[in-house]
Structure 1
Amino acid sequence: MNSPRVVVIGGGVIGLSIAFHLAEAGVDTTLLERGSLGSGASRATADVVRSYFAGNPVSSALAVRSLDAYHAFPSRPGTDLPLRQVGYLVLFTEPEQVSAFEADLPDQRAAGVDVGLISAEEAREHNPLIGDAPLLAAAYSPQAYISDTTAIVTAYARAAERAGARLRTGCAVTGIEPRAGRVRTPDGDLTADAIICAAGAWSASLVRCAGVDLPLTDPIEQELLTTDPLPPNTPDIPVTLHAASGLLVRLRGERLLIGMGYPGPDRQAWRRGVAEQLAATYPSLAGVALHTAVTGLRDASPDKTAFIGHQPGPPAFLYATGFSGHGLCNAPAAGELVRDLYLDQDPGFDVTALAMSPRRTG
């Protein structure tokens, strides 16, 4: 194998963004992916890019920066992306949820998020499927779009290769020796000036090998469900989150795509809970059949904010992990930040907010 300057571990949307931004900057880069590109958490997304993450202005700031990059995709990296603006609606049924939103709002605005509090009546105008169950108010952000995760993964991969990066699929990393800059694979070892971990659900053991103590959870299996075809007159709706239950829905073609937390060990009980919450929030959909749309493993951090950091070298060790389902919304910014950390450039972002600290252990 060659001896690149940088080895990126992980071929999801985060790793590919990093590989693209490094290669574009002239850095000799090799990316290693154990399966196919985009086969981990990047496979199990709702194809939504948005800027508002309630109670998490750091993720929101990353997402605002990333949305700007997605809008600029036709010129850089040079691919037209589908971006259908639908908005993002969060339904509040408890006074505490409204209070928390109002307390969080100044930080969200400071992060660049366009979001505001609207009435229950306005929420039902945005989403006519909402039933008559008690609803106090809602948050609404127009900055939410339906895109295509596969198209984003493919665009980053092609652009990275055009810029000179080597992308090796079916190449699992069996171990790393960060102090030696060595990455072990079944096809042989690589040595590099820097190792970058963007391995998603498989990151925990790798960062531990580098002596980085991140409180990453065990890999979590995400499942998204879909309905049978809905009636032809079903109205278009925003991406809508029921704050109390975590029920998230959006239209995908003639069906509804649905997420609600994680299945856990009792998948049937979880599905029953999803069906019950769906019927309570959207009575016209009571009894609709639910089917698995997609599953995938996801990484997570205690506060649902990514860990992005740097141990200087040479050899250096960098990491971008723990995105907790926000990876698609954060990927362009994550690639830029890791590039700038590696090149010792000003990232234009307070990266200390993404570092490990006692307040982030949950």
Structure 2
Amino acid sequence: MSAGSRVVVIGGGVIGLSIAFHLAEAGVDVTLLERGTLGSGASRATADVVRSYFAGNPVSSSLAVRSLEAYRAFPSRPGTELPLRQVGYLVLFTEPDQLAAFNADLAAQRAAGVDVELISAEEARERNPLIGDLRLLGAAYSPDAYISDTAAIVTAYARAAEQAGAALRTGCPVTAIDPEAGRVQTADGELSADAIVCAAGAWSASLVRCAGVDMPLTEPIEQELLTTDPLPPGTPEVPVTLHAASGLLIRNRGDRLLIGMGYPGPDRESWRREVAARLVETYPSLAGLGLHTAVTGLRDASPDKTAFIGHQPGPPAFLYATGFSGHGLCNAPAAGELVRDLYLDRDPGMDVTALAVGPTRTGLTR
């Protein structure tokens, strides 16, 4: 089978679907290829949290601020009501260097549009009464954090992309690309295009290599989120809370907590024991609750935990949006807008050199 298409987007997660929607909405002929089902990669292993504050990473924060505005406007564009329950985001500081890093980062975060402030230990405990007898020095608090539904966002973007004319093909893994010739090889045949977009998440590395892009993606990381047994009666609703020293993240999920803490690595049982110990140390009233796997999935990652978004001009052109390092849900609307603008040679409204592979991208190591 051989077919022509102006733009082929590889990857049917929230990033690829956002790109397909924004391109199709702008009148571009788009075909999206997904190896499995829509949202079956990193998009199924999220905590369903959209927020604007990414500590120490004002570039990701600026994408998240822009994306949060788009999520709030979803009822009018693309036209779907999304669950957005505001809960706030709390980061607990137990070490002096964490306070110093927050203060050093604050001006850049504010310049990115983030609403965040340093609050006292007492106020942190008022916002999250589960906090135990930690040596808490203070906390960062941002009100702009919401519980949403990643599956609903994936579905909304997919529906809107199709309504705008995009073709979405699932169960269609890409086996090779030839960006110089504008060819994409799949198990079902070959497609030609005057632009190829890599938004393949954990499967991006081989594609960008085929395109000759020297992108220092790290090995894909398997994410696991845990859930507790039902919480004791009267347990309060708390903000999404990160313990900065351990990376322990919690949020309410119905009558339970959803929990993340880094990545399991090869010794999953040891990791789970460490999560359980950190949970009780930070929130002693939760002692005795069992922990269970909630969801797992592969994530792409970049060395500086900031997405790669950029392009090599054509025709045929090669564009990429990958390496989101767990920030994909929070960055997806902005990523779609930026890829659209790069393809159409529009002003993207921000300095995209901070995201592109190249000499202006600092802090990258292999």
Q: TM-score range by the shorter chain?
A: over 0.9
Equivalence for 1:296? 297
Equivalence for 2:363? 360
Equivalence for 2:216? 215
CA RMSD of aligned residues (A): 0.7
Question: Which AA in structure 2 matches 1:38?
Answer: G
Equivalence for 2:287? 286
Equivalence for 1:113? 114
User: 2:220 & 2:99 partners in 1: Cα distance?
Assistant: 32
Equivalence for 2:89? 88
Equivalence for 2:137? 136
User: 1:2 & 1:119 partners in 2: Cα distance?
Assistant: 61
Runs of 4 or more off by more than 3 Å in structure 1? none
Equivalence for 1:317? 318
Please give the per-residue CA displacement for 1:86-132, whole angstroms capped at 9, x wherever unaligned: 00000000000000000000000000000000000000000000001
Please give the per-residue CA displacement for 1:232-274, whole angstroms capped at 9, x wherever unaligned: 2110100000000100000000000000000000001100110
User: 1:305 & 1:66 partners in 2: Cα distance?
Assistant: 15
Question: Which AA in structure 2 matches 1:360?
Answer: G
User: 1:245 & 1:184 partners in 2: Cα distance?
Assistant: 44
User: 1:65 & 1:218 partners in 2: Cα distance?
Assistant: 28
User: 1:266 & 1:285 partners in 2: Cα distance?
Assistant: 24
User: 2:76 & 2:233 partners in 1: Cα distance?
Assistant: 37
Question: Which AA in structure 1 matches 2:346?
Answer: Q
Question: Which AA in structure 1 matches 2:339?
Answer: V
SS in 1 for 2:32: strand
Please give the per-residue CA displacement for 1:20-54, whole angstroms capped at 9, x wherever unaligned: 00000000000000000000000000000000000
User: 1:148 & 1:161 partners in 2: Cα distance?
Assistant: 20
User: 1:187 & 1:50 partners in 2: Cα distance?
Assistant: 39
Equivalence for 2:9? 8
User: 2:31 & 2:183 partners in 1: Cα distance?
Assistant: 13
Question: Which AA in structure 2 matches 1:197?
Answer: C
Question: Which AA in structure 2 matches 1:281?
Answer: T
Please give the per-residue CA displacement for 1:59-82, whole angstroms capped at 9, x wherever unaligned: 000000000000000000000000
CA shift, 1:2, in A, is 2.7
Equivalence for 2:275? 274
Deviates more, 1:352-361 or 1:338-347: 352-361
CA shift, 1:16, in A, is 0.1
Equivalence for 1:39? 40
Question: Which AA in structure 2 matches 1:63?
Answer: A
Question: Which AA in structure 2 matches 1:183?
Answer: V
User: 1:154 & 1:267 partners in 2: Cα distance?
Assistant: 32
Please give the per-residue CA displacement for 1:302-328, whole angstroms capped at 9, x wherever unaligned: 010000010000000000000000000
SS in 2 for 1:2: strand
Matches within 5 A, 1:78-227: 78-227=79-228
User: 1:63 & 1:30 partners in 2: Cα distance?
Assistant: 26
SS in 2 for 1:22: helix
CA contact (8 A) 2:3 2:190 kept: no
Equivalence for 2:327? 326
User: 2:29 & 2:83 partners in 1: Cα distance?
Assistant: 30
Deviates more, 1:292-301 or 1:282-291: 282-291
TM-score by length of 2: 0.98
Percent identity between matched residues is 83
Unpaired runs of 5+ in structure 1? none
CA contact (8 A) 1:275 1:287 kept: no
Please give the per-residue CA displacement for 1:199-257, whole angstroms capped at 9, x wherever unaligned: 00000010000000111011100000000110121101000000001000000000000
Equivalence for 2:18? 17
Equivalence for 1:73? 74
Please give the per-residue CA displacement for 1:111-154, whole angstroms capped at 9, x wherever unaligned: 00000000000000000000012100000000000000000000
CA shift, 1:360, in A, is 3.1
Question: Which AA in structure 1 matches 2:302?
Answer: S
User: 1:22 & 1:133 partners in 2: Cα distance?
Assistant: 49
User: 1:132 & 1:224 partners in 2: Cα distance?
Assistant: 25
Structure 2 residue 242 is matched with structure 1 residue 241 = yes
Question: Which AA in structure 2 matches 1:330?
Answer: N
